[in-house]
Structure 1
Amino acid sequence: MAIRWAENSDLPWINEQYEKIGFVPSSLEREEIAIVTHNGRNAGVGRLVLLNEKEAEMGGIYILEQFRGLSLAHELVGCLVDKSRSLGLESVYCIPFRELEHFYEKFGFARVDPSISSVNQKVLEKYNWCIRQYEKPVILQKLA
């Protein structure tokens, strides 16, 4: 297992994966994208979308089916959390499916109620989009 940071040449593969699962495409313009590999093969991807100098949204966490069960998502999310800290971000949001709430809690994410918390407007718009887009329920979390 290894993790590397995406380059422009990786974008076709990244966006092919995201297209398969209905996620928004990526670009390197305002994103830090990590690719996790297993035995030299691309096995998954995740990203930090930089909203401004102080805030980001972590998402797009996807492990290809044949590589699931190898703890690669754990390594990938840990890497993205470390990257967010090294960038000095003050707020990092995540919009996972509700069934993954406890997984993200292991990294310091806590559920946020957008009706009583101040949430970045772009994140709030995406959260509402996800509620409409996906059949599975989603939640809003923020790195504590």
Structure 2
Amino acid sequence: MAKRTSLKGAACPIARSMEAIGDCWSMLIIRDAMLGKRRFGEFQKSLGVAKNILTVRLRTLVEDGILTLAQSADGGAYQDYVLTDKGRAVFPIMVALREWAEDYAFTPGEETNILVDRETGQRVGRLELHAADGRLLGYGDTTIKPAVA
């Protein structure tokens, strides 16, 4: 198997993001952590992923500062995996992926779960990208240019 090229030094922010969180299992681990899972066994049971793969992904997420290891909340001998600020900052990415999947990965009428506001119980509105002047932006309304140092 060919060795994968690291994207950690890439000039593109998307490439660097994919290096840290672009793996399917990593995103699902982060999702489960956002849903309250904290223990290796909880992740393994939820995901059904092989233990060796889960071990590597959890270690990488800790090394990248997305998760941290903490003393077990119940005082037991185990350690908990806890989202850091960096890990919690993945939330809008998760919401964007949900919205894309709701639009394109399910057939009409196919059952799924929905994202709701804890306070009101109401479905959360869709993500929107706005220009500095408030205009709603879509594909074709933006471009990439080098940052001015």
- Point out the structure with max Rg over C-alpha: 2
Q: Which has the higher contact order (CA 8 A, sep 6+)?
A: 1
* TM-score (ref. length: structure 2): 0.31
* TM-score (ref. length: structure 1): 0.31
